[in-house]
Amino acid sequence: MKGQNLIVAKAWIEKADHDLGSAKVIFLHIPEYSDTIAFHCQQAVEKYIKATLISFDVEFRKSHDLLYLLDKLSEYIEVNSETYDKAILLNGFAIEIRYPNKVIHLSKIEIKNAISIADDFRSWLLNIMDTK
């Protein structure tokens, strides 16, 4: 990455790290807030993907849809079906679950899985940006 793209991508990564860190802290201290934890995991992955797109100088529309963002990314790098499956799982935790009319209850195993998926995306995408 060079110049302005580097600055912008790093800002997205920092925000993504804050979301993922928040998910982990909430899980440790208030695990019953599963909807909030899941939301932060989805948000983290969204931001990691956006950072990667920016690093490739790819334009994308404003969207919280991880599948759309992965489709854009797949124009530049290989994105396997397992990655899409993980994105599908997190996509269900996007914006809508923040509101009272959409209540979800997730088990500790499901929450640990969401955090693990977000960690996996972080590692994968930061590695791609580092080797680009």
Global confidence as pTM: 0.93
Instruction: Flag whether pLDDT at 1 surpasses 60.
Output: no
Please give the residue range of the domain that contains residue 120: 3-131
132 pLDDT higher than 70: no
CATH number of the domain within which 108 lies = 1.20.120.330
**How many domains is the chain built from?**
1
pLDDT in tens, 18-46: 999 999 999 999 999 999 999 999 999 99
Q: What is the pLDDT of residues 79-131, one digit of tens each?
A: 999 999 999 999 988 876 767 777 778 899 999 999 999 999 999 999 999 87
Structure confidence at residue 2 (pLDDT): 59
Q: What is 15-82 written as a DSSP string?
A: HHHHHHHHHHHHHHH-TT-HHHHHHHHHHHHHHHHHHHHHHTT----S---HHHHHHHHTTTS---HH
